[in-house]
Structure 1
Amino acid sequence: MTTIDEAAAGSLREALRGSLITPQDPGYDEARSIYNAMIDRRPAAFAQCVDVADVQTAVSFARDNGVELAVRGGGHSGPGLCLVDDALVLDLSPMGWVRVDPETDTAQVGGGSRIGDLDHATHAVGRAVPAGIVSTTGVGGLTLGGGHGHLTRRYGLTIDSLLAADVVLADGSYVTASPENHPDLFWALRGGGGNFGVVTSFAFRLHPASTVGVGMTLWPLDRIPEVLRWYREFLPGAPESLSGFFAVLTVPPGPPFPEPIHGRKMCGVVWCHTGDPADDRLAKALEPANEPAPPAFHFATPMPYPALQAMFDGLMPEGLQWYWRGDFFDGIPDAAIDVHRTYAENLPTPLSTMHLYPVDGAARQVGADDTAWAYRDAIWSGVVAGIDPDPANAEAIRQWCVDYWTDLHPHSMGGGYVNFMGSAESQDRVRATYRGHYDRLASVKHAYDPDNLFRANQNISPAPGKAI
């Protein structure tokens, strides 16, 4: 293991207002634990940054000392790209703050914030940002990858609400990227991942969302063909106020599920309705769920939006084994339905799953070239996730995920959501994720990070060229 020179580490420790944690420090093992317990890496040090000056100090130290740099926000990176062996990890978690301005319907969000922090602060004024489905997810990584969630059909991707971003660049300088300032950088940050700098804060536009209608409908697994044929037609034609992601799952042993279906493999849809919860619009919106086949379970209820965002937190806590892969889809052909049924019948563990998240509706109203997100024509962002608490099952969940994805990929659009990509993705795969935007992204990368300091990500290699 390569370590940072003791004298250099001492100098960095003195320069930081936050803490520097090295392998010799008592908190080292805790610092290197992340959401995905399948990742076991040993960085040379963690710089726990409390402000922009700390971020600038850590970036400059890594650059000047030839130390590889990784950036950690919420620590939810599936492939563990926020940790690199022998690297300096720039840990933004101390910068987990949110400041809401109700007069302008905007929020300023620290780079180390999690979705739960954002939801808590914005809910107080009856507002929200469309972002994710698990409250412990980091705002930074989710946003830089594009960001989708329960509110995407109504309000677009997370990046569609981004107004500006404060960024520390590879040379240690500090800029604000917006439509008016550094517009190329702002374009690239909206979907291009962590390739261009360290975002220390985000400015978001807020949207009305307080109490939402929440529903869940489950069907026996043998009903997958009927359900998916109905779902592929129904949801794209539904009002943007209704969203619902499709899933294959093993029913958890607890409420709200009745005991007779505990442990059964099923398919289902998790609904979110942003209509008026005081009337019967939710019930009317979900009436078509009876059409494909009689549900084995169905419920619908008003719920505070942050409660919906945290609904799966207990089921998916930090410390599980994860392996995932994803793709975009513009349809669900019968051949893909056959794949879903085959692998749903062979779920390797009770937590393993597959989700199809809607990314149409309002997200499609943004121009194809307006942001780095290259799949405005997609209808679903799919992810296959092998999950289990036992490390002994790591290979089983990995193989199931790889096989499922491999058989499903021919029915995809060719690329996937960057936040659902794995740790060993090829350059061709990264190019497919960005389609015709890749060359422009490579040019922006060359302008802002020509030496590729920020490479612990789904990397875009810097290449000279005209950015605009």
Structure 2
Amino acid sequence: MATLSGPQTQISDESLGELRMIVRGDVLTREDPGYAAVRPAYNAMHPGRPALVVRPTGAADVIVAINFARANGLVVAVRGGGHSVAGLSSVDGGLLIDLARMNGVVVDPEARTVRVQGGALIGDVDHETQAFGLVAPSGIVSDTGVAGLTLGGGEGWLRRKHGLAIDNLLSAQVVCADGELRTASADTNPDLFWALRGGGGNFGVVTSFTFRCHPVGPIVAFAGVFHPVEDAENVYRKFREWAATVPEEISAMIGCTTLPASENTPPEIHNRPFIVTGALYSGDSLEGQKIIQPLREIGTPLADISGPLPFAAVQAAFDEFFRRGTLRSYWKSTFVEELTDPILDIIMDKARSRPSDRVFVIAFQMGGAINRVGAGETAYSERSANWMISIDGNWADEADDDRVISWVRDAWAEVHAHGTGTQYLNFTGVEGEGVTAGVESAFGQNLVRLAEIKAKYDPQNLFRLNNNIVPAAGAGI
């Protein structure tokens, strides 16, 4: 097996047998029948081929797995939902801790909170919370893992009204590198709680999260309008004008890509480049329909799926764009204060010159509640920008790797030059750049404090397959 020190090590049958006796969940080697059934990673570039997989059923199993990894000096990857674009939830030759079996969700409708295990997907959470007309702010693809999304920040359809996922995190239970299960909250281990809110998987394996919920749905006003790419000038500029007028209950986006034929998408957009505008109103659905109506009146759409829709359906509306294990992916993101003319010109140019049909050039409306949190209040530091631009390189053929990755980097650099200098690590690939790529620009002044907390909870950097924060010099716990 791959080790932290470099040379491979051999795990004896006796040690493996002892591990299997203690773990209640699955302990799988490549020879075991269940190995092939492990939930695959999102990014087909990084499927991973671990030498050993532990699929815990609870925190006790996670503790055992971490202790085993530490005792043997093993390289460890943690897979919550497996949606790491950078492939950081995959490992070759090391130990994969796959939390797929830990997907429990428990709602307290009176307290308006939800407790979510570390292997749950967004769709698992929405299914439970929407039974009570509640939502825990998360992402925009139902197949995304709650853990990775949250630890990186977590931007979704409620971001401008209720903030990021981390802004609604009340507490977390974390198995740290020493094998200890700790509670992190505003009152207990507050330094760890601060670091978890944006610091990624650097500090341990989160076995459960407790979130604040908000009354939203089950029916919401949603806009999903598809336009021909030939009408880009008109659509992008009118979208920008509309976005400047809307209240915080609206969270919106605009992007350009191409999709293959599917029963889940309108036939009018199959296999042709399109621009999609999307928006959700988190208040009264009738009022929301009035506010999003101008989006539906831009140009002559190819298709329009707008209307009053179940919130859970909206959460799954973009699933077709990001099917697990079907595409190779390399993304880069950056934040900008406003969609100025020069930035809009770059975005439109890149939308029209994509090197692969499945490349997705997206602008996400930010601001609102996100920006009412101070840059130092959470590890996630970008609290000033009103827009995030994501250049999502997606393609099928390995032969196109260099060409698409190079295009994404160049496109990103053009936009980044006009931005705030920060990145969203959940949307940042590290192919050939190392796991610390983008960390400094993402965390800014918060990086010094993060390095100190990393040294406290993981001084040996056991958790290094992530957007890695190098431990500052200092003793651990």
Moved more, 100-109 or 34-43: 34-43
Conserved? CA contact 2:173–2:183, under 8 Å: yes
Equivalence for 2:442: 433
Residue 47 of structure 1 pairs with residue 54 of structure 2: yes
1:218/1:5 CA distance change after superposition, 3 Å? same
Equivalence for 1:197: 204
Moved more, 388-397 or 416-425: 388-397
Residue 221 of structure 1 pairs with residue 229 of structure 2: yes
CA distance in 1, matches of 2:76, 2:261: 42
Moved more, 228-237 or 54-63: 228-237
Q: CA deviation at 1:299?
A: 4.4
Q: Which of the numbers 297, 309, 314 marks the counterpart of 1:308?
A: 314
In the alignment, residue 330 of structure 2 is paired with which amino acid? Y
Equivalence for 1:338: 345
For residues 19-42 of structure 1, the C-alpha deviation after alignment (integer angstroms, 9 at most, x for no partner) is 111122223344373121121432
For residues 289-310 of structure 1, the C-alpha deviation after alignment (integer angstroms, 9 at most, x for no partner) is 3676554544421111111111
Q: Which of the numbers 262, 265, 282 marks the counterpart of 1:274?
A: 282
CA distance in 1, matches of 2:207, 2:269: 45
Q: CA deviation at 1:393?
A: 4.2
Question: What TM-score does the superposition give when structure 1 sets the normalisation length?
Answer: 0.93
Q: What does 1:37-436 align with in structure 2 at a 5 Å threshold?
A: 37-210=44-217, 211-250=219-258, 253=261, 259=267, 261-277=269-285, 279=286, 281-289=287-295, 293=299, 295-321=301-327, 322-424=329-431, 425=433, 427=436, 429-436=438-445
SS at match of 1:63: helix
Equivalent residue pairs, number: 465
CA distance in 1, matches of 2:131, 2:272: 38
In the alignment, residue 110 of structure 2 is paired with which amino acid? E
**Can you give the 5+ residue segments of structure 2 that lack an aligned partner in the other structure?**
2-7
CA distance in 2, matches of 1:53, 1:261: 48
Q: CA deviation at 1:352?
A: 2.0
Q: Percent identity?
A: 42
SS at match of 1:42: coil
CA distance in 1, matches of 2:46, 2:115: 31
Moved more, 313-322 or 199-208: 313-322
Question: What TM-score does the superposition give when structure 2 sets the normalisation length?
Answer: 0.91
Q: CA deviation at 1:251?
A: 5.6
CA distance in 2, matches of 1:254, 1:372: 40
Moved more, 93-102 or 262-271: 262-271
For residues 389-408 of structure 1, the C-alpha deviation after alignment (integer angstroms, 9 at most, x for no partner) is 44454444433323322332
SS at match of 1:133: coil
1:95/1:262 CA distance change after superposition, 3 Å? closer
Q: CA deviation at 1:11?
A: 2.0
**Can you give the 5+ residue segments of structure 1 that lack an aligned partner in the other structure?**
none
In the alignment, residue 340 of structure 2 is paired with which amino acid? P
For residues 68-91 of structure 1, the C-alpha deviation after alignment (integer angstroms, 9 at most, x for no partner) is 111111011111111122211111
For residues 9-66 of structure 1, the C-alpha deviation after alignment (integer angstroms, 9 at most, x for no partner) is 2221222111111122223344373121121432221111111111011111111111
1:428/1:45 CA distance change after superposition, 3 Å? closer
SS at match of 1:447: helix
Moved more, 7-16 or 131-140: 7-16
